Amino acid sequence: MNTNNNRLKSLFFTLVAFAAFAASAAGQSAETLIAEGRVFLAQKDLVSADTKFAAAVAASSTHEEANALRAATRLLILVNQSPTKEFLDRLGIGAVGRDIYNWQAEPAKDVSGSFIAPSSVKAQEITEHLRSTLVPELQAARANLDKIVSPGFVTSLNASETTTANVSIDQGDISLVRALTHFLEYFIYTTESWNLDLLLTDLEDLDNSGQLTAERVLNDYPGLFTYKSTDDLMAARTAFDSFVTHYLSASSLIRGRGDQGDHLFMDSPNRRNSEADFRSIITDLQMSLTQGPVVLTFNNNHIVNAGKQFDGTHSPRGMFPRTYRNKLVLGTLPDASFGGTITGLTSEQIENYALTRIFHQRR
């Protein structure tokens, strides 16, 4: 009986020791894989680095450094993935020189040096590709970043790993990257909702014949910039709301550490006033998503209602003024409030801005 007990004890302690060893080995494995991935970063081999960082996350799902590096490389290697490579091929962008460290690939050109539009490709395909390929990776990268919860988290990359300079990454940097991914989603969801059913070769033909003007394109394509679908507008609204939340958090953290160090995103003393104005504006826009019309703190002559952008009732096309060739026709702006998104601006103010900043005209 004692012999059996001894055997059971021996087996028990063996299993405990094995479990402890396995846990230790898993932790060590993650560290080792990160170190190996960093070697590949220094060699500019992003695909191999991403493989190592993915393995490190698999070995230790909550490892903060592994998740930070995996989030970065999974986005950086998109150009090396089959969907993106195939789409670049379809656009006629050369396979040689597709290197994010030194991009040399260009669209095809004719003998005169003019770009050749790819056959049978519509502008809509660009937003569709971003919607189907980039958005899922942005979300996956954020899932990695969400694992970085330690307030004091800091990781550093040396100049050989970044190919530029030493960089430190902390929670302020992580928060701003989160914000940027949400903003990209907002932009992609929004533009993908528009009708961009326009062959790129049609634009090329108009250009070759000297007829490529805003007036001609808008006349030839009356459905251009109307809504193709409003299905993604609520996702766009959520993405914009999340962008503001993470940007404000990032701004507070980055301003809190000042302009010292070598961080990915730095506080800029000469831009603090303009950045404060930006924070004020997006805060009011975010508030208006749920509260309706909000008076801008930045300029109380204006009222914003950002929710109107996402209700699907006013397409961008319906807000376009008339154009003559490439010039704005004054007095033809349909709605100075842009569907109720902003009030307090006059048509003349908007036209003056459009004339000088977009159409480069004078009154």
Strands (E), the chain: 154-157, 167-170, 294-295, 303-304, 323-324, 327-328, 342-343
pLDDT classification of 16: cutoffs 50, 70, 90: very low
Q: Are 184 and 134 in contact (CB under 8 A)?
A: yes
In angstroms, the CA 168 to CA 157 distance is 6
156 burial (CB, 10 Å; 0-12 / 13-18 / 19+) is middle
- pLDDT: which is higher, 104 or 355: 104
* Nearest in space to 66 (alpha carbons), one of 41, 34, 40, 44: 34
**pLDDT number for residue 354:** 79
DSSP-assigned letters across all residues of 135-148: HHHHHHHHHHHTT-
**pLDDT number for residue 28:** 52
The predicted-structure confidence for 204-228, as pLDDT tens digits, reads as follows 999 999 999 999 999 999 999 999 9
The residue written with tokens 């996702």 in the block is 235
Sign of CA dihedral 132, 226, 324, 342: negative
- pLDDT: which is higher, 327 or 242: 242
Position 292, amino acid: G
| SS3 at position 152 | coil
